[in-house]
Chains A and B, each alone.
Chain A
Amino acid sequence: MTALKIAKDRTLDIKNMEILSKVHAKNLVKWAKDKPEALVLSADLTSSTEIDLFRDAYPDRFISFGVAEQNMMSFAGGLAREGFIPFVHTFAVFIYRRAYDQIAMCIAYPNLPVRMFGFLPGVTTPGGATHQAIEDTSIMRSLPNMTILECGDATDVESVLDAANAINGPVYIRMLRGEIPRLFDKSEPMILGKARILSRGNDITILSSGICTEEAMRAVEALKKHGVSITHLHISTLKPFNDTAVLEALSANKYGVITMENHSIIGGLGTVAAEEMAEAGIPNKLLRIGIKDTYLHGAGREYLMREYGFDAMALIREIEKIVDTSFDITEDDLRRVRFEPINSDAKAEAL
């Protein structure tokens, strides 16, 4: 696994874990300053998608469409054909569910540079089933020409604009808002098509995306103390999926591969990994952690991740099964790791 280069400072330094707020809101204003071609399109969720600061800074480049996403998507296609770069902002569900035909024909088919920011993916919404985007990656991934990115921390959110804007074609982004931890060093931006390698080991390979990466980092930290050797990769480019380091990690493990995503296990990261492994002839076992082909209901994020089995503890239970050992790691242990840094015995160097 010499090709795997551990990210310089991907330390989950619990003690100093930085929590940032309105990361996108501030960053977008700075980023768009010298980009007159960048327009921001809103569908009545301006504050909720953190584009209020952009609206105030550049009112001439902010276009309000009201609650009319289908029209907004087709308009975005028209604007893009004339040389503008529309940055469409709304909740993820209202992008791919509400306006799929318009995205397919007015944006994806003509390969136009429209950047779609899907907020509140999966369980990150305070809303219920109507607001939970649980199959967006699955749907959008099957559109030709579409690139799909997902943010897992503040550094991802800050650098996703450059990553997305380098793409000649449409991009769908599973975006984070509000208070976001910084898991990855600010100096190491998201790089298109490159996974972040957070841990190296020989027993198990974990691929995680979005908010599941923080969960997996907590679990990996706890498991390492029990001698489980884990390779952990954070995936931010879901399509295209052609990072050779990922392919290598899928292959190089004793017990198999686990994917972990805030999304249905059908069509998302788990499916992508399965396709890659099958086509590359990698004969390893694959376990997909995520939303198991079910709708959810409205509740808090931590509650839903626990109830539906895709939090740190769920990962630990699965690994316990795989290695046929019980580590007696409790929810409290994990919570302490995360929330009581003073008592934490998490070793930064272990990551």
Chain B
Amino acid sequence: MKKDINKRIKEAAKGIRRRVLEHTINNNGGYLSQACSSSEILAALYLRIMNLGPVEAPIMPPPFTAVPGPDNPNYTTGAMFNGPKAPHLDRFFLSPSQYSLVLYAALIETGRMHEKGLEQFNRDGSRVEMIGAEHSPGMEIMTGSLGHGLSQAGGIAMARRLKRETGRVWVFMSDGEFQIGQTWEAMQTLSFYKLDNIGIYVDVNGYQCDGKMSKVMNIEPLKKRLESFGAKVFDVDGHDIDALIAPAKLKPAGRPLVVLAYTTPYRGIKILKEKTPKFHYIRFKDEDERRRYEAVLADF
């Protein structure tokens, strides 16, 4: 059983990388390193860690209609891709929506989004936005302005506790968000109110827009810092499926859970290492480079 699940997670992770690689080649650009670092995290969250309701069939993203407002009562978010809402079911929040492309690929690989949905990526009139919003597949809050996600998810976790709901709240974060003051405000609040119904997976890939994080603005020792804020923290190999799953199995005990998933931004696509230290958004410098990536895709 466990072997089967792990195999499925591994396959899904590979599928996420392949889809994002293909997309990056076809569009001469994409958030490829984020797929390399976070594929196992997202696949494990969707296939094993989170208790989400099913979707009847892979959903084709409906076109964008309108932003929320008092005169738009039929407005919907992208939460439908994560299944129905119920008191006992978990909820998922993507904090850095720069990872949207990777999330869309994960939704396809886990049977929640129609694979043709990705063809709408960054198209005018589509919900499948490049830096997704709350109407984008798999999303239900506004998170592109980094640092807002954890506090909003914290509010939802607090509300769920007030309503005595048993479902947990899962947040995917990037390591860059730990440079932001609001993230630490949120952490102190989560631990002050003992919100142990929240679990945070952080893709610690060590790189940000400007390059290597330790050169741009250091956040380490992250585990110690988070522990001193009152969190229950695990640092794991972010490509090791068992290690990713284990902390989520523990019974919550009064502290917010943080899993620091240490990852490699070129995992699974070795030639991507040549881009060091600029991994944030991958573009090919010439046709030759693009052909080399096509060759990688052909071998996938």
Please list the residues of chain A having a beta carbon within 8 angstroms of any beta carbon in chain B. Answer: 63, 65-66, 68, 70-71, 73-84, 101-102, 105-106, 109-111, 144-145, 167-169
Contact = CB atoms under 8 A, between A and B. Distances in A.
Interface of B: 67-70, 134, 140-142, 144-145, 147-148, 151-160, 162-163, 181-182, 185-186, 188-189
B159 A102 contact: no
B141 A82 contact: no
Contact of B189 (A65, A77, A81, A101): A65
Given A106-B148, A109-B67, A145-B68, A81 B142 contact: no
A110 B158 CA distance: 19
Given A111-B69, A144-B69, A169-B70, A84 B162 contact: yes
Given A70-B182, A70-B185, A78-B153, A101 B145 contact: yes
Contacts of A102: 148, 151, 182
Residue from the set B144, B145, B153, B163 with the largest chain A CB neighbour count within 10 Å: B145
A297 to B, nearest CB: 29
Given A70-B147, A110-B141, A145-B69, 6 more contacts: A70-B181, A71-B151, A74-B182, A82-B159, A101-B145, A110-B142
- By Cβ-Cβ distance, the 10 closest A-B pairs, closest first, are A78-B155, A74-B151, A82-B159, A71-B185, A75-B155, A68-B185, A78-B156, A78-B152, A105-B142, A79-B155
Nearest to B140: A81
Contacts of A111: 68-70
B70 A75 contact: no
B88 to A, nearest CB: 15
B69 to A, nearest CB: 5
A77 B67 contact: no
A75 B154 contact: yes
A109 B155 CA distance: 17
Contact of B148 (A68, A83, A105, A144): A105
Nearest to A65: B189
B155 A77 contact: yes
Contact of A68 (B141, B147, B158, B188): B188
A81 B182 contact: no
Nearest to A84: B159
Contacts of B68: 109-111, 145
A145 B147 CA distance: 23
B133 to A, nearest CB: 8
B163 A106 contact: no
Contact of A75 (B144, B160, B181, B189): B189
Nearest to B157: A78
B158 A78 contact: yes
Contacts of A101: 145, 148
Contacts of A82: 155-156, 159-160, 163
B189 A76 contact: no
Nearest to B73: A168
A71 B187 CA distance: 10
A76 B134 CA distance: 17
Residue from the set B70, B140, B152, B163 with the largest chain A CB neighbour count within 10 Å: B152
Nearest to B165: A82
Nearest to B160: A82
A80 to B, nearest CB: 8
Contact of A106 (B67, B152, B188, B189): B152
A300 B68 CA distance: 42
Contacts of B155: 74-82
Given A68-B185, A68-B189, A71-B189, A79 B142 contact: no
A146 B181 CA distance: 26
A77 B186 CA distance: 13
